[in-house]
Amino acid sequence: MDVEGLGARLHAQRLRHGLSLNELASRSEVSRSMISDIERGTKLPTVLVLARLATALGVTVSRLLGEEQPERVIMLRAAQQPAILDAAGWQRRILSPNLPGVEFEFIRTTVPPGVVIGAFAAHAPGSREYVAVEAGRLTVTLDGVYHTLDTGDALYYAGDCTHAFANPGDVECVYYTAMQVTINDHHAVLEDL
């Protein structure tokens, strides 16, 4: 991952939204010092921290990871897809490009057996998420309510709730998420995962 590029994009998004470090820290529940370190390119955030920052800014994680691609046809070879490996062993691979004015993500996630990914913050009202399990078992917790999905199962939910993921099974889980995020009321900007 391009740590310096990520820092520059985070800084630019924060300024675009007119937020101070303290305001972004308060909205994202990420410390001011961590945000400053990320913006300077001296620290690499975890997937959950990156998701909190993106959600607080009203953008997708992919918007923070890469530049916009305005072309009509975009091929993302495996080596070009932003992939983030969490210390717990799960990986998030972003399969969708950054399109101008579009806050949509298509994500492939692999989770080792017994790993709890954790909780993601609620998105702006009107946001939508779709989850489909390719292999294994996935528990999706939405505002404290558990939903267990097996191979081939799919789930839709309004993205304006706290959502958490875990693999309760004894084999690797592979699942896909499609996420459309809506306009954030704070500064009339687009909102993320």
Q: What is the pLDDT of the chain when averaged over all its residues? A: 90
Residue 148 CB: number of other CB atoms within 10 A?
Answer: 14
30: tokens are 């990420």
Q: Which residues contact 188 (CB under 8 A, 6 or more apart)?
A: none
Q: How confident is the model at residue 183 (pLDDT cuts 50, 70, 90)?
A: low
**Buried-state track 29-45, b at ≥16 Cβ within 10 A, e below 16:** ebeeebbeebbebebeb
Is the pTM value of this prediction over 0.75? Answer: yes
DSSP label of 78: G
145-174 average pLDDT score: 97
pLDDT tens digit string along 33-64? 999 999 999 998 988 899 999 999 988 888 88
